[in-house]
Amino acid sequence: MRRILITGGAGFIGSHLSLKLVSEGYFVRILDNLSKQIHGENPEKSILYHSIKGKTDFIYGDVREKDVWSKVLEGIDTVVHLAAETGTGQSMYEIQKYTDVNINGTAGLLDYITNQKHDIKKIIVASSRAIYGEGKYRCKNHGVVYPLARKPVDMDKGDFEVKCPVCNMNVSVLPTDEDSKVHPTSVYGITKQTQEELTLTCCKALDISAISLRYQNVYGPGQSLKNPYTGILSIFSTCLINGRDVNIFEDGTESRDFVYIDDVVNATIAGIETDLHNWLHINVGTGIATNVMTVANSLKTLYNSESKINISGNYRIGDIRYNYADITLLKDKLQYHPAIPFEEGIKKFASWVKMQDIDASVDSYERSLAEMKAKGLYK
């Protein structure tokens, strides 16, 4: 049985993964700095931290600390590297922080296994669909294209559609596969691209098996309801539960590939357990696009809320328009097929939210928007 280190293992994905691995008999060690943005001012009150406390070999520490690696890697043969700052919007104005944690933290791990004795046989690195930028589209005139970031001059006029980089005509979205062009439109996306390329390049040189899992939009029970950068399901839920109106960016038809936490955990375990010894990039999603208005209306119904859902026309620099993954490699290489459709997953999520104590006085989301607006990143 493998002995696994999960960096960021007390976070949303990490805690779920840790508990599933422990239940299957794995030895699990966690390295986590219990970030205030995720766990609050007092980690002892953190639901995620308490879920893994006493059930795993927990080590408090930061991936940027050079001396931490000798301690956490002792006796470990597999690393699942989840530790990272997340959030497209925040990354656009906390550039040094995102670069330091995501890139330098990964470099520290790789520097250690390159220069010191260890037992590492495999590394799974958590990447993101953000590395694709706008992703893969089809132009009537030019076929398959990979559009650049949308222009504020268009979006200021209410034109949020993606344009062909050749003729500037509107294009239609295609499923984004792993061979698609990598050209992120956010600092977060750039750091995730660097994380995965550092990992696969170094592991290939050392003949250590490595897989980069490009997670799509992960959601489910345990997702922070206080972190304003955690995802729209949590943001919308907090508004609806507290009786506040929900403001939708752009025109509400922007879409994402929402993948339930259990599918992400099981796909990651499939990556851990596969006998493949190579260096792969694999999308982890459902292959289905769901638009933002559908998400908001579904949650409003599930919470029986009387809040209004407003189309604001606002937008954030760095956001993409449409997205859904091609998951052929997930099925073929890892033999994993997503099991939880969005209609089922959002009900599970909403049922969990209803049992949480949500503080109506805390509005970190509006504060985060004000920060972005002051920096010209929210229009």
- Per residue in 212-268, pLDDT (tens digit) is 999 999 999 999 887 766 788 999 999 999 999 999 999 999 999 999 999 999 999
Cα 263 from Cα 330, distance rounded (Å) = 11
Burial category of 229 from C-beta neighbours within 10 Å (exposed 0-12, middle 13-18, buried 19 and up): buried
Please tell me the number of Cα atoms within 13 Å of 82 on its side-chain side. 26
Predicted confidence (pLDDT) at residue 360 exceeds the cutoff of 70: no
Choose the final residue of a domain: 145, 174, 203: 174
pLDDT band at 306 (very low <50, low <70, confident <90, very high): very high
What was the pLDDT predicted at 362? 54
- Range in 8-17, 173-182, 327-336, 350-359 the model is least confident about: 350-359
**What average pLDDT does the segment 58-77 reach?**
96
Q: Rounded to an integer, what is the distance from CA 240 to the centroid of its chain? A: 23
pLDDT tens sequence across 142-159:
999 999 999 999 999 999
Indicate whether 225 belongs to any domain: yes
For residue 211, is it within any domain?
Answer: yes
pLDDT in tens, 4-14: 999 999 999 99
Q: 166 with 182, same domain? A: no
Does residue 208 have a pLDDT over 90?
Answer: yes
Instruction: For the chain, state the CA radius of gyration.
Output: 20
Same domain, 163 and 246: no
Q: Does residue 78 lie in a domain region?
A: yes
| Domain presence at residue 30 | yes
* Residues 94 and 146 placed together within one structural domain of the fold: no
Q: Are 217 and 295 in contact (CB under 8 A)?
A: no
Average pLDDT over the chain reads 94
pLDDT at 363: 61
Whichever domain contains 318, its CATH number is 3.40.50.720
Residue 367 lies inside a defined structural domain of this protein = yes
- Measuring CA to CA, which residue among 35, 44, 124 is closest to residue 87? 35
Residue 173: predicted pLDDT: 98
Mean pLDDT on 164-184: 97
Residues 50 and 169 both lie in one domain? no
Q: 127, 146, 174 — which closes off a domain?
A: 174
Mean local confidence (pLDDT), 307-315: 94
Give yes or no: residues 303 and 216 share one domain.
yes
Residue 39: the pLDDT is: 84
Q: Indicate the residue type of 261.
A: I
Same domain for 51 and 35:
yes
> Whose CA is closest to 338, among 272, 288, 279, 299?
288
Whether the per-residue pLDDT at 329 is higher than 70: the answer is yes
Report the Cα 290 to chain-centroid distance in Å.
16
In this structure, the answer to whether residues 222 and 271 fall within a common structural domain is yes
Same-domain check for residues 39 and 146: no
Predicted pLDDT at 2: 87
Residue 194 CB coordination number (10 Å) = 18
Look at residue 367 in the predicted model and tell me its pLDDT: 77
Rounded-to-integer distance, Cα 269 and Cα 16, Å: 11
Task: Classify residue 379: in a domain, yes or no.
Answer: no
Task: Please report, rounded to a whole number, the percentage of residues in the chain having pLDDT higher than 70.
Answer: 98
Structure-token pair, residue 339: 């099991």
pLDDT higher than 90, residue 110:
yes
Based on the domain organization, do 237 and 265 belong to the same domain?
yes
In this structure, the answer to whether residues 222 and 315 fall within a common structural domain is yes
Both 81 and 143 in a single domain? no
Q: Give 107 or 35, the one with higher predicted confidence.
A: 107
What's the confidence (pLDDT) of residue 227? 74
What is the residue range of 147's domain? 137-174
Indicate whether 332 belongs to any domain: yes
Residue 101 lies in a domain: yes
One domain, residues 143 and 277: no
- The count of structural domains within the chain is 2
Return the closest-CA partner of residue 217 out of 242, 235, 190: 235
Cβ count within 10 A of residue 82: 27
Higher pLDDT, 257 or 87: 257
pLDDT at 264: 98
